[in-house]
Amino acid sequence: GVTCLAGAVIGLVPRKVIFDNNSTGNNFCLRMRFGYIESVDFLNADSSADPVVGLLIDTQNGGVMVVDCHSEVENATDMPAWAFRVTSTGLSIYDVVFRNCRGDALRKAHHTDVQTGLGVTTNPVTVYGGYFRGNFATDYDIYQTGAGTVQLVNPLLAYGTTSGAVTGFFFDTSGNLKRVGSTLPTIPEMIGDAGSGGKQGAAPAPGAGDAAAGKFLKADGTWVAPPGGGGGVWPKADKCNIDATEYSTIAALMAALSSGVIGRVGEGSFTSDGQTLPAGAMLEGSGIGVTTLTTSSNDKVLTVSGGPVRNLTLTNTRATGTKYGLYSNSGSTDLYNLRAALTAAGSYNYGFAFANGGGTYNLYNCQANVSGASTFNYALFNDRCVVNLHQPVFTGNIYTFGASSVDIYGGVITGNLEADTSPAVIRLHGLPTITGTLTLTSGGTIAGWYRDSSGVIQKAGSASIALDATYLTSGILPAARFNDTAHGNRGGGALHAAATTALAGFLSAADKTRLDALAIEHLGTLTLSGTGTFSWSSISGYRHLLLFGEIRSDRSGTNIDGVGLRFNGDTGNNYGDVYVRGQGTGASAAAQWGVNNLTVGNCNAATSAPASAFSPFFVIIPAITGNTHKGAIGLTYLPDQNIGALTSVFFRSGIWLNTAAITSVVMLPVAGGTGFIAASSASLYGVK
């Protein structure tokens, strides 16, 4: 939510990402009001702002130029999202220009509002190259509303959809040049020279019979017969111009060019069998898919040496050997809006090949479609040069060798990347999409982040590392993304101190050791839904047992029943016990020996009142793993309104004449009842 001062100039080196993941506050990463911004990436994953915006341009006092920036909005909630948004404050309406920028609107589901790569309301905006994508095909790559306008100059649109006052030309994802509002580009018709010069454009259509009459197109824009009444036709495919001088072939054009001179090639397809552009000369066509240089017999379509080349398709259809689209082995060159197409069979296919061992090559919005060769299909081959790819759309592999570098700024690479032999390096900027593999050979390096074919963000130089909190070095993770299970100190400092008798906190290691030494574990609580007994089995790993709960027997005709234990399934007469009974103001005692249970107390039976009166009990079974006879100590209470002062407390202790470790326990009535009634419950605990 930062707003830049008027007239600011921003360029982050090395390239950085500005995030806005905050769920409250401003709806943008950065707001520019007047100035220049270059090489900055924006990512806004806000879940509450409306709309969610990466870079907001809100003009005041002057215009804004945005160069080589990438803005991405990712929002999983039901909000509109604009990667770039252009508007104005009050009446401060100024021009805004985008050059080689990328805007992506990415969401998990479709929303009824707009999710767009670029949204414009009030300002005049011009877009040179770049790539823009709406969320779905039913959204808009470019969205305009209000009094603003948008002029497109050959950007790449993911779905080819626009809305509002948008004009100009764009490329679709198949590399076709299209005019906004039409499936095919419309080129204005040329204006012939009437004494003060004409205007370039499409040739006027010839009339009926003009071909039979051998007519040609004059500079005044009319079709006329050659002077003298005869002569051959000058094919349109051979027409090209340089400084108002016409040449019949590409070879003648190349011979006439010199440093700093522009050679312009009109609409059509021209044979260019390995022609070399003179050093420093410039060559310009009318657009990708509009002007095509082709060869079917030479290994190269075009060789360049220092001068820029623009707006051409280069097609090599030779079916054998090694072939190139554009080749350079000297100088440094800027290339704009070029497409290299090499799909015929052969040994090696190279779309763009640079092999001068030191030149610098900048490619802007260039495309390559390279396949069919038996050995290598390289969209880009780089031998010891510096190459910068801005928003490339390549089908084919990228290879760089030796003392070389390739920097990729956004774009889509449908193929593999290979850096061969140190210090060769490929650096990734602006999250380009790369569908193939990344290969490092003999010390080569590939660095940066990219999207794979599934859209998952990966880190180059590692084996399929998805973007997660491991790689964050600053900032605050939103609560919605904080789902790991780790606990303890984090970047913000200690969460809690150790617990004390006066302060809550974490359990210290020393206290945990003490707690382990006193560990008591719950082995199960049984609550009866009908008449029955209690049993526990597979008891091991404990020194003592504790048993307690509340019970009532189904014994009829009396108010009391005995409560006994049996260990390890022993029903023989191997038990004995003694008891002391406190009843009102009196007491009694007795003992028994050679019985089939260890009686640990007594409980309420059927005639005791009320019917909800249950006897609480507590039993200790110590030393269950020793090699001596096993014993138990029990305490029970009999509440009974019928006997008033005769309500009793029993203290009983007994022994089992067996030295085996106790592994199972059964608790049952032993003085006439068949079981304990429903709602009786007992809990067993083991003490380590």
Task: Name the band, by pLDDT with cuts 50, 70 and 90, for residue 469.
Answer: low
Q: Does 388 score more than 90 pLDDT?
A: yes
Q: What span, in angstroms and rounded, lies between the C-alpha atoms of 676 and 572? A: 22
Residue 531 lies in a domain: yes
pLDDT of amino acid 231: 35
282-284 and 262-265 strand pairing: parallel
Q: For all residues of the chain together, what is the average pLDDT?
A: 84
How confident is residue 479, by pLDDT bands cut at 50, 70 and 90? low
Sole residue written with tokens 């491991």: 470
Same domain, 304 and 388: yes
| Residue 47 vs residue 42, higher pLDDT | 42
* 564-587: pLDDT as tens digits: 999 999 999 999 999 999 887 788
Gap between the Cα atoms of 123 and 92, Å rounded:
9
pLDDT of residue 115: 84
Q: Which pLDDT score, from 0 to 100, does residue 407 have?
A: 96
Indicate the residue among 395, 428, 446 that finishes a domain.
395
8 Å CB contact between 105 and 139: yes
Residues 141, 282 share a domain: no
Q: Which pLDDT score is estimated for 240?
A: 39
Strands 162-163, 166-171: pairing is unpaired
Q: What is the pLDDT of residue 663?
A: 96
Q: Are residues 173 and 240 in the same domain?
A: no
Judgement on whether residues 157 and 49 belong to the same structural domain of the protein: yes
In this predicted structure, what is the pLDDT of residue 331? 82
Q: Residue 626 and residue 640: Cα distance in Å, rounded?
A: 39
Looking up tokens 């030191």 gives: 358
Which of the residue ranges 85-94, 96-105, 209-218 has the most confident prediction, judged by mean pLDDT?
96-105
d(CA 460, CA 450): 7
In this structure, the answer to whether residues 173 and 257 fall within a common structural domain is no
Give a yes or no: residue 21 inside a domain. yes
391 shares its domain with 533: no
Residue 528 lies in a domain: yes
Question: What is the mean pLDDT of the segment spanning 671-686?
Answer: 95
Which pLDDT does position 369 carry in this prediction?
95
Least confident of 211-220, 234-243, 246-255, 504-513: 234-243
Give 655's strand partners.
Answer: 576, 631
Cis before 14 (ω within 30): yes
Q: What is the pLDDT of residue 109?
A: 59
- What's the pLDDT band for 300 if we cut at 50, 70, 90? very high
Interval 160-166 mean pLDDT? 92
Q: Is residue 569 part of a domain?
A: yes
Distance CA 469, CA 112 (A): 32
- Mean of the pLDDT values across residues 392-396? 95
pLDDT of residue 215: 85
Question: Which of 126-130, 351-355, 390-394, 513-517 has the weakest average pLDDT?
Answer: 513-517
How far apart are alpha carbons 166 and 339 in whole angstroms? 25
Structural domains in the chain (count): 3
Please give, one letter per residue, the 3-state secondary structure of 559-585: CEEEEEEEECCCCCCCEEEEEEEEECC
- With a cut of 90, say whether residue 530 has pLDDT above it: yes
Q: Tell me, yes or no, whether 66 and 151 share the same domain.
A: yes
167 and 276, same domain (yes or no): no
Q: What is the CATH number of the domain that holds 373?
A: 2.160.20.10
- Flag whether 507 is in a domain: no
Q: Are residues 559 and 645 in the same domain?
A: yes
Q: What is the pLDDT of residue 232?
A: 34
Domain presence at residue 355: yes
Residues 131 and 160: beta-carbon distance below 8 Å: no
- Identify the band that residue 483 occupies on the pLDDT scale cut at 50, 70 and 90: low
At residue 548, the 3 state secondary structure works out as: strand
pLDDT for 245: 38
Alpha carbon distance 364, 587 (integer Å): 106
CB 123 within 8 A of CB 96: yes
Asked whether residue 308 carries a pLDDT value surpassing 50, the answer given is: yes
* 322 and 391 both lie in a single domain: yes
Same domain (yes/no): 121, 44: yes
3-state secondary structure of 279: coil
- What pLDDT is attached to residue 415? 95
Per-residue pLDDT averaged across 367-375, rounded? 93
Most confidently modeled range among 52-61, 138-147, 503-512, 564-573: 564-573
pLDDT of residue 234: 33
Question: Mean of the pLDDT values across residues 63-88?
Answer: 84
CATH number at residue 656: 2.60.120
Looking at 369, 395, 421, the residue that finishes a domain is 395
pLDDT exceeds 80 at position 359: yes
Query: Poorest-confidence range of 131-145, 315-329, 424-438?
Result: 131-145
Q: Is residue 538 in some structural domain?
A: yes
Q: Looking at the structure, do residues 129 and 250 belong to the same domain, yes or no?
A: no
Percent share of the chain, pLDDT over 90: 46
Mean pLDDT of 67-88: 83
Cα angle 134, 135, 140; round to 5: 35
What span, in angstroms and rounded, lies between the C-alpha atoms of 436 and 416? 4
CA distance 376 to 455: 27
Find residue 67's DSSP bridge partners. Answer: 38, 99
Three-state SS for 514?
Answer: helix
pLDDT surpassing 90 at residue 76: no
- Identify the domain containing residue 91 by its residue range: 2-179
Residue 615 domain-assigned (yes or no): yes
- Residue with the bigger pLDDT between 518 and 613: it is 613
What is the token pair recorded at 136?
């779905």
Q: Which of 367, 395, 423 is the last residue of a domain?
A: 395
Which pLDDT band, with edges at 50, 70 and 90, does 514 fall under?
confident
pTM, full prediction? 0.40
Cβ–Cβ contacts within 10 Å for residue 558, how many? 14
- Lookup: tokens for 138: 């039913």
Per residue, the 3-state secondary structure of 635-680, as one string, reads EEEECCCCCHHHCEEEEEEEEECCCCCCCCEEEEECCCCCCECCCC
Please report the pLDDT score of residue 271 as a whole number.
83
Whole-number Å distance between alpha carbons of 350 and 400? 12
